[in-house]
Chain A
Amino acid sequence: MVSLESLIVLLPLLGAVIIGLGGLANAAFRKQEGLIGWLASAMVLIPFGIVLTRFFGYQNMPLSFSLFSWMQAGGLDISFSYKLDDLSLPMMLVVTGVGALIHIYSIGYMHKDPGFYKFFAYLNLFIFAMSNLIMADNLVVMFLGWEGVGLCSYLLIGFWYTDMIKAEAAQKAFIVNRIGDFAMLVAMFLIYQMFGTLDFSLINAEAANPVAEAAGNRYFWITLLVFVAATGKSAQIPLFTWLPDAMAGPTPVSALIHAATMVTAGIYLIVRLNPLFLASPEVLMVIVVIAALTSVMAALTAIAQNDIKKVLAYSTVSQLGFMFMALGAGAFTTAIFHVITHAFFKACLFLGSGSVIHAMEHAHAAEDPQDIRTMGNLGKDMKSTSLTFWISTLAIAGIPGLAGFFSKDEILSSLFFNGFENQVYFAVWAVGLFTAILTAFYMTRLAWLTFNGKARYKTGAHIHESAPLMTIPLWILAVLAVLGGYIGLPYLIGHGEFHLFNHWLGDLVVNRDLHHALEEHAVFEYLLLALAFIVSIGTVLFARNLYSKHDLAADDKVKGFFGKFYGVMAGKFFWDELYDTILVRPFAWIGSKLLRPFESDGVDGIVTGAGSAVAGIGEVFRRLQSGLVSNYMVLISGGVLLVLTYLIFG
């Protein structure tokens, strides 16, 4: 029996199959852009509608449904079972909602691309994989989605695969993710060994059991490996290097996969397994430190980049770092809260940048349509794009009242109040605050250099605003970037009474209890809030004044401020060069040394040796085949006689 909920996973798959096979089979179908685009969008909009009704009709009872049993072996029984609960419902709302908007946007963005049908088939496949990841009731189905989104990411980064750089970026993403996936597999083996099950609910129930907790940090390796897996998918040190390169894909892909949804999979997974993590504070400490380093490193890099999408990519890495900081502080609901608000404003920023790139390309306004040094004053001709981009910029910068303010402030305050238990968190909080300042700075720089100031593109180029198909999703996302934060009002307003989001996640996600620290040091809550006000508004105004006064030359002032260190920032902290030196080149060297003895002589030797041995034996025995029928007849008769003799007398 197909329940309505199962359509959430099945429809995007159906869309991918129809569009993919239809496009492959029929050249005329490929030209039907409207049909393909709206069909694909409908395959995401309908699930969105279903999730919406389930969200508002939620009765504190998880909705489970199962498609069929996948595999059975001994005590192991894996089935395609899904669960819509407190955690997966809001995530699904974001994925299908933002996903649908990006589908619609893409109809305009991918117009006249020869791979139009392929693009939408991949996008639908991605939504399918992502729904599997989120709604899965056990780790195996989750892993199916985990790998599926990785595959779609690979396919879409390398969408314009005739460009070698883009094809290589796709491979890089795939290979780097593979390291994380390996850790994930090992973690799953360990979980099965320890719990004897792969069902989330059973694992969590077992882990939350206080008796089990007495056994100490027996979850250490599991949680550490899950975190390693998360660093791959969610772009943290040391596996983040693929994400900035992933911007080679079409911009809607960057918005959907590499900003709003897929890269948050690691965070989602950790929140899913929150009882395990809560029971292993050492790993939380590892997470918080790595996250802080990633976050500040990426933010510093973003300041020195000139490619509009590169800035946004590093900004994403930095914001993911914020989410992991929240996880490390044991504030799981806060991390998900930031995932959601971030999905709104970052998707809007990416789509806005797509709109800009689209316009720049169309007008042939510069050599490189993504270089902000050749933009400037685009706001004059692109009112909607400019306005929505600015709104989202202010949201990510943490301007009070907008979405980013609430979630980011919550992260910082949870870090701070953890500091009363463990001083390391104070240091992390300071790093986080510094990163927040950097964020406000580089985002303002980006928006200003793109949309305001003097026009630096070729004179005479006519910049046009994008079609409504593209601007309407921008506006919807911008509105969400404004309002999205009000589902989680700060603790000091009625002691968390009005934090709708925390109430919603309820018992399913248990945060580290900070009640005590919050009550005892309530005064800091006000101070932190005041600090957030001053820092965000101050930085934005400072950056705005700096860049409006000096325009592009303000970058030189920044360069002067950071001195020699600016080179490191512009060089992206040389991670790629580091990996190239310590991993890629040694491997290539070992490979070149081993090629002859193992491949040419070893494996090839065995294969060709087997061949020539057979040929040699054949050389001897082929003499028997004289070609004379009588000879054969004699041999056959002789053979029959021998057999008969044996049977009768033997």
Chain B
Amino acid sequence: MMDFFTPNVYSYLAVSALMFALGAVGVMTRRNGIVVFMCIELMLNAVNLALITFSRMHNDPAGSILVFFVMCVAAAEAVVGLSIVLAIFRNKLNIDINQVNIFKW
């Protein structure tokens, strides 16, 4: 029985898609480095949610396992990314990523 308020596969996927879209829009529009960064994390977690959903749906643990990899990589990436943001701040005294463009033509 399809009931709008009963959680099912589609609601999980809808949340995942919404989160991903939010993250993507945030990355595209925001200029603050940390916010952009947070948006990326949001996208990653959206993907994680989708993976878990499909994993349960197909009764295949591979998707769940992949989520752990994603989390590990995200953690490592957070370290690197925050260091970069810090380095940018030291040079520019702000973290506006649109000003980090010295390699531009």
Which residues of A does B touch, CB under 8 Å? Answer: 622-623, 625-630, 633-634, 637
Is B36 engaged at the interface, CB distance under 8 Å to the other chain? Answer: yes
- Closest B residue to A626 by CB, please name it: B104
A629 pairs with B105, CB closer than 8 A = no
What are 25 A-B interface contacts by the 8 Å CB criterion? Answer: A623-B105, A625-B103, A625-B104, A625-B105, A626-B104, A627-B98, A627-B101, A627-B103, A627-B104, A627-B105, A628-B98, A628-B101, A629-B27, A629-B36, A629-B98, A629-B100, A630-B27, A630-B28, A630-B31, A630-B98, A633-B24, A633-B27, A633-B28, A637-B24, A637-B28
Residue-by-residue, is B24-51 near A (CB-CB < 8 Å gives 1, otherwise 0)?
A: 1001110100001000000000000000
**A634 to B29, alpha carbons, bound, how many Å?**
9
- Closest B residue to A618 by CB, please name it: B105
Shortest beta-carbon distance from A66 to chain B in Å = 58
Residues of A within 8 A of B105 (CB): 622-623, 625, 627
Residue-by-residue, is B3-31 near A (CB-CB < 8 Å gives 1, otherwise 0)?
A: 00000000000000000000010011101
Residues of B within 8 A of A629 (CB): 27, 36, 97-98, 100
**A343 to B97, alpha carbons, bound, how many Å?**
84
Shortest beta-carbon distance from B49 to chain A in Å = 19
Residues of A within 8 A of B98 (CB): 627-630
Task: Give the interface centre of A622, A625, A626, A633 by most chain B CB atoms within 10 Å.
Answer: A633
Residues of A within 8 A of B27 (CB): 629-630, 633
Residues of B within 8 A of A622 (CB): 105
Closest 7 CB pairs of A and B: A627-B101, A627-B104, A622-B105, A633-B28, A629-B97, A630-B28, A633-B27
**A629 to B28, alpha carbons, bound, how many Å?**
8
Known interface pairs A628-B98, A629-B97, A629-B98; A634-B103 also in contact (CB < 8 Å): no
Residues of A within 8 A of B36 (CB): 629
Residues of B within 8 A of A637 (CB): 24, 28
Q: B29 contacts which of A623, A625, A627, A630 (Cβ < 8 Å)?
A: A630
**A630 to B33, alpha carbons, bound, how many Å?**
11
Residues of A within 8 A of B97 (CB): 629
Shortest beta-carbon distance from A351 to chain B in Å = 70
List which B48-105 residues lie within 8 A (CB) of chain A: 97-98, 100-101, 103-105
**A634 to B100, alpha carbons, bound, how many Å?**
17
Residues of A within 8 A of B103 (CB): 625, 627
Shortest beta-carbon distance from B19 to chain A in Å = 15
**A622 to B104, alpha carbons, bound, how many Å?**
9
